[in-house]
């Protein structure tokens, strides 16, 4: 059995879509934590597509496994 490589998907309002400066941490949309990149990517695509008309809303995938075990990266 392979070890899950956890990924977090979240998004929110940004002032500039070219950066990751979220305007309010209180209003972040936490989509979820996923056991692999493929599932996280599917969730990111769904969330991004649901907000496609909101140019100031940005979703990202965070590789939690890299933060939890940086020596394995």
Task: Say if domain 7-72 classifies as CATH 3.40.309.10.
Answer: no
What's the CA gap between 25 and 13, in Å, rounded? Answer: 9
pLDDT category at 62 given cuts 50, 70, 90 is very high
**Domains of the chain, residue spans:** 7-72
User: In the Cβ-directed half-sphere of 52, how many Cα atoms lie within 13 Å?
Assistant: 4
Q: What is the pLDDT of residues 9-58, one digit of tens each?
A: 999 999 998 899 999 999 999 999 999 999 999 999 999 999 999 889 99
Residue 23 CB contacts under 8 Å (≥ 6 apart), including other chains: 12, 13, 14, 15
- Residue 5: the pLDDT is 92
- Residue 65: the pLDDT is 87
- Residue 73: the pLDDT is 54
């Amino acid at each position: 059995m392979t070890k899950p490589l956890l990924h977090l998907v979240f998004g929110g309002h940004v002032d500039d879509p070219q950066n990751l400066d979220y305007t309010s941490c209180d209003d972040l949309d936490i989509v979820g934590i996923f056991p692999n990149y493929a599932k996280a990517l599917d969730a990111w695509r769904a969330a991004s597509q649901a907000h496609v008309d909101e140019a100031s809303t940005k979703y990202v995938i965070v590789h939690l496994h890299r933060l939890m075990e940086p020596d394995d990266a």
